[in-house]
Amino acid sequence: MVYTRKNVSALTGAERRRFVTAMLEVKRRGEYDEFVRRHIDHYVSDGEGGLRTAHMAPSFLPWHRCFLLDLEQALQRVDPGVSVPYWDWTRDRAPASAPWTKDLLGGNGRSSDRQVMTGPFAYAAGKWTIKEAVTDGEFLMREFGRPRRPIQLPTREELNAALADPLYDKAPFDSTTRSGFRNRLEGWGHGTGNATWENHNRVHRWVGGHMLGGASVNDPVFWLHHAFVDLQWSRWQKKHRGARYLPERPPGPSDPQHRRVVARHEKMPPWGVTPASMEDHSRIYRYV
Ligand code: CU1
Ligand code: CU1
User: What is the domain extent for residue 180?
Assistant: 3-287
- Give residue 116's region: left, alpha or beta (phi > 0; psi -120 to 50): beta
* pLDDT of amino acid 185: 98
- For residue 116, list its beta bridge partners: 109
Q: 83 and 74 in contact (C-beta within 8 Å)?
A: no
CATH of the domain at 105: 1.10.1280.10
| Ligand having the closest approach to the CA of 54 | 1
On average, the pLDDT of the chain sits at 95
pTM here? 0.97
List CB contacts of 161: < 8 A, sequence separation 6 or more: 184
- Kindly give the distance from the C-alpha atom of residue 187 to the centroid of ligand 2, in angstroms, as a whole number: 10
- Kindly give the distance from the C-alpha atom of residue 55 to the centroid of ligand 1, in angstroms, as a whole number: 6
Segment 74-120, tens digit of pLDDT: 999 999 999 999 999 999 999 999 999 999 999 999 999 999 999 99
The residue type of 217 is V
| Ligand having the closest approach to the CA of 185 | 2
| Ligand having the closest approach to the CA of 200 | 2
Q: 159 and 232 in contact (C-beta within 8 Å)?
A: yes
| Ligand having the closest approach to the CA of 223 | 2
Question: 229-264 b/e with 16+ CB inside 10 Å = b?
Answer: bbbbbeebbeebeeeebbbeebbeeeeebeebbbbb
pLDDT for residue 48 is more than 90: no
Segment 241-266, tens digit of pLDDT: 999 999 999 999 999 999 999 999 99
- Kindly give the distance from the C-alpha atom of residue 119 to the centroid of ligand 2, in angstroms, as a whole number: 22
- Kindly give the distance from the C-alpha atom of residue 226 to the centroid of ligand 2, in angstroms, as a whole number: 6
pLDDT band at 44 (very low <50, low <70, confident <90, very high): confident
Q: How far apart are CA 86 and CA 99, in angstroms?
A: 9
> What total number of domains does the chain contain?
1
| Ligand having the closest approach to the CA of 56 | 1
pLDDT for residue 193 is more than 90: no
Which segments of 50-192 does DSSP mark as H helices, in order? 60-78, 156-163, 181-186
